[in-house]
Amino acid sequence: MENQNPVALPQHKLSLELRSHPERGRGVFATIPIARNTVVDISPILHFNHEEYSQHGKYTVLDHYTYRWKDGYALALGLGSMFNHSNHPNVGFIRDLENGLIRYIATDDISKDEELCISYGSNIWFKNTEAEEKTELEQKHEPEETEEQWWNHLTWELD
């Protein structure tokens, strides 16, 4: 980790709850309305280098939870591992490589009892339970994200 300075964790002011869905498993829900642009979580990460991940991590349950990271993969320690996927996410995330953490920010106003979801990108490995699933034909024509496009997402910005 390059930065040795303390990092504030203001997210614990929020009223969030873990709820279970029969197919999606646990997910994060708002128990009060949350305004757009609110920081909903800051999750420190546990880093795995490429070798460690390809030899061990990818053969475990970790493979359902890890994010791509510089020089390997990262497990979000905190709510970051609990956000389910949506094709219409209401939470975005920004990898903070210097501090080894991921910041999650509401990209829409979120209502009480609404689930907070992020987008996992285009390579979904499970059957998405969302009602508005894309048809198989649409998915087939969706181009895979290149490494360069993925790195460009690191500078993802909220307007």
**Which single residue brings its beta carbon nearest to ligand SAM?**
25
DSSP string, 29-40: EESS-B-TT-EE
**Which of 24/153 has CB closer to ligand SAM?**
24
Point out which residues bind ligand SAM (CB under 6 A). 23-27, 64-65, 81-82, 84-85, 126, 128-130
Least distance (Å) from ligand SAM to the CB of residue 89?
Answer: 10
Least distance (Å) from ligand SAM to the CB of residue 25?
Answer: 3
- Strands in the chain per DSSP E: 16-21, 25-30, 39-49, 67-69, 72-76, 84-85, 91-96, 101-106, 115-118
The whole-angstrom separation of Cα 103 and Cα 93 is 5
**Which of 23/144 has CB closer to ligand SAM?**
23
Q: Name the pairing type of β-strands 115-118 and 84-85.
A: parallel
**Which of 1/26 has CB closer to ligand SAM?**
26
